[in-house]
């Protein structure tokens, strides 16, 4: 067996062993204590993944700072290596050099992480060919990629699906005007993929109904630092003027707004007083608006945010929407908060069709929640009591941790490997805030 294959097998076995070990990890939480103290926010998972993929657009070295130490980020590193790039992690800095790359990555690695679809745009942009395994669906929804493919085809890519692979080829991508809106609005990673491919296309691309998420803006900022010509990122219309080549760049990733929101909701659910450092409050107006409506105090103190909840919460209704609306990635955490809030609140999920996996697990803790189509009707206020629960996906696991912190007695959250995908050392950060939470390593 050739050396590269041997190395790949060794790496995959190590990753599998590590992840099979982690699969058994759980959190033991003794609830009923208010969170108090300070917490530092890490870099954004949903910004760093496409930014790491964007490094494939140049042969030169790219240095990405404030990269959170998460299993998804390490996974993306493995995927880039499977394409022939170098990816080195040093603390929260990742250095990528894609001097010589091939257009086909490791099928299994790519299939396993949905976020890896964002290598497609850079590969077709740089090499004019790419073969990437189709990302599977996930528990929160079917998650098709038709808009990604429609956008790349509009730039002239020929797309075939064969043997589980997306095959994309193009002699030369050409700038085009395209509409990228779908049945539930714009696509975040789809916008990123088209923007990255268009950066090296011939001519001007105009993306209508582009996603406006801060992570899209952060990706555009990184591409501009590499020499791309992009305007309008953060608005529904993005214009990209293609250039011949891109160069290396250095970039610091934005703070994780979903992690920030998660700690703010945890402070509210436990009746705590938490100072959040290193966040971008201007990325969270919709979330803070709803928390304030529920009776949570949110103040700026210099660069920090102070989140306090004393006294009774009020029920609020939530509908998830594309940015700058209420983020779907905070829906589950807010449901945990509304479960401990006296009164009726209605939570409507408009982005992912099956993102209520946490409802039945919250019910194990005593929550009273009924699902009616895209909405969950939460009859809150009944005290929660600790129980063994099972995490099903990243944000559902964050909701179960918050509910466990608010519940009386002991909660055991199983399969916390889900939470390690998107929260850096969350148990340590919570312990520093006075939480009684312990990670029980898998045996």
- Catalytic annotation, residues: 138
Rounded to an integer, what distance in angstroms lies between the CA atom of residue 52 and that of residue 415?
27
Smallest CA-to-CA distance from 348 within 316, 323, 306 is with 316
343 φ/ψ sector (left φ>0, alpha ψ -120 to 50, else beta)? left
Residue 394 binds to ligand EPZ (criterion: CB under 6 A): yes
**Piece of the chain touching ligand EPZ by CB under 6 A; list 100-108, 170-178, 186-194, 273-281:** 186-194
Q: What are the beta bridge partners of residue 161?
A: 166
Per-position x/- string for 347-386, each x denoting binding to ligand EPZ as judged by CB under 6 A, each - no binding: ----xx----------------------------------
Residue 143 binds to ligand EPZ (criterion: CB under 6 A): yes
The residue among 153 and 440 lying less far from ligand EPZ, judged by its C-beta, is 153
**Piece of the chain touching ligand EPZ by CB under 6 A; list 2-10, 93-101, 180-188, 237-245:** 180-188
The residue among 53 and 407 lying less far from ligand EPZ, judged by its C-beta, is 53
**Piece of the chain touching ligand EPZ by CB under 6 A; list 181-189, 198-206, 231-239, 292-300:** 181-189
Rounded to an integer, what distance in angstroms lies between the CA atom of residue 45 and that of residue 422?
6
- Residue 72 CB, shortest distance to ligand EPZ, in Å, is 8
The SS3 call for residue 407 is coil
Interacting residue with ligand EPZ among 32, 37, 128, 144 (CB under 6 A): 144
Residue 77 binds to ligand EPZ (criterion: CB under 6 A): no
309 CB neighbour count, 10 Å cutoff: 25
For the CA atoms of the chain, what is the radius of gyration? 22
Residue 219 binds to ligand EPZ (criterion: CB under 6 A): no
Interacting residue with ligand EPZ among 19, 69, 93, 184 (CB under 6 A): 184
The residue among 191 and 341 lying less far from ligand EPZ, judged by its C-beta, is 191
- What is the DSSP track for 334-371? HHHHHHTSSEEEEEE--S-TT--THHHHHHHTT-EEEE
Rounded to an integer, what distance in angstroms lies between the CA atom of residue 304 and that of residue 436?
24
Residue 417 binds to ligand EPZ (criterion: CB under 6 A): no
- What is the DSSP track for 241-287? E--S-----EEEPPB-HHHHHHHHHHHHHTT-EEEEES--GGG-HHH
Residue 257 binds to ligand EPZ (criterion: CB under 6 A): no
- Residue 357 CB, shortest distance to ligand EPZ, in Å, is 12
Residue 71 binds to ligand EPZ (criterion: CB under 6 A): no
- Residue 48 CB, shortest distance to ligand EPZ, in Å, is 9
Asked if 125 and 152 touch (Cβ cutoff 8 Å), the reply is no
- Residue 18 CB, shortest distance to ligand EPZ, in Å, is 21
In the DSSP assignment, the letter for residue 373 is T
In the DSSP assignment, the letter for residue 309 is -
Size of the site for ligand EPZ (CB under 6 A): 26
Q: Which residues bind ligand EPZ (CB under 6 A)?
A: 46, 49, 115, 141, 143-148, 182-184, 187-190, 211, 215, 328-329, 351-352, 394-395, 422
């Amino acid at each position: 067996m050739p050396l590269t294959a041997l190395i790949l097998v060794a790496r995959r076995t190590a990753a599998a062993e590590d992840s099979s070990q982690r699969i058994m990890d759980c959190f033991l939480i003794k609830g009923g204590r208010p969170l108090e103290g300070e917490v530092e926010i890490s870099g954004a998972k949903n910004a760093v993944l496409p930014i790491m993929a964007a490094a494939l657009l140049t042969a030169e070295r790219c240095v990405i700072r404030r990269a959170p130490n998460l299993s998804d980020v390490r996974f993306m590193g493995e995927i880039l290596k499977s394409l022939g790039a170098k990816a080195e992690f040093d603390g929260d800095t990742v250095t990528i050099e894609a001097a010589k790359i091939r257009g086909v990555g490791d099928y299994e690695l790519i299939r396993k992480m949905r976020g890896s679809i964002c290598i497609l745009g850079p590969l077709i942009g740089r090499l004019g060919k790419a073969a990437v395994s189709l990302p599977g669906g996930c528990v929160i929804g079917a998650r098709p990629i038709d808009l990604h493919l429609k956008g790349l085809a509009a730039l002239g890519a020929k797309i075939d699906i064969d043997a589980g692979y997306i095959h994309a080829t193009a002699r030369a991508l050409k700038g085009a005007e395209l509409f990228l809106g779908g049945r539930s609005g714009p696509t975040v990673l789809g916008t990123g993929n088209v923007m990255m491919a268009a950066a090296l296309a011939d001519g001007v691309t105009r993306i209508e109904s582009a996603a406006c998420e801060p992570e899209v803006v952060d990706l555009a900022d990184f591409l501009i630092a590499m020499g791309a010509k992009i305007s309008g990122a953060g608005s529904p219309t993005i214009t990209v003027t293609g250039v011949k080549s891109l160069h290396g760049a250095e970039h610091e990733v934005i703070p994780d707004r979903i992690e920030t929101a998660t700690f703010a909701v945890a402070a509210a659910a436990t009746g705590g007083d938490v100072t959040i450092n290193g966040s971008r409050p201007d990325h969270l107006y919709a979330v803070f608006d709803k928390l304030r409506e529920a009776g949570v105090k949110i103040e700026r103190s210099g660069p920090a945010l102070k989140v306090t909840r004393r006294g009774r919460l009020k029920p609020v209704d939530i509908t998830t929407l594309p940015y700058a609306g209420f983020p779907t990635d905070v829906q589950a955490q807010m449901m945990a908060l509304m479960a401990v809030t006296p009164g009726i609140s209605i939570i409507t999920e408009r982005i992912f069709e099956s993102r209520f996996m946490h409802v039945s697990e919250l019910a194990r803790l005593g929550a009273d929640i009924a699902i009616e189509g895209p909405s969950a009707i939460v009859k809150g206020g009944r005290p929660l009591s600790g129980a063994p629960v099972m995490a099903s996906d990243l944000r559902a696991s964050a909701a179960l941790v918050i509910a466990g912190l608010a519940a009386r007695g002991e909660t055991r959250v199983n399969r916390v490997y889900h939470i390690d995908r998107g929260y850096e050392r969350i148990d340590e950060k919570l312990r520093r805030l006075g939480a009684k939470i312990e990670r029980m390593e898998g045996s």
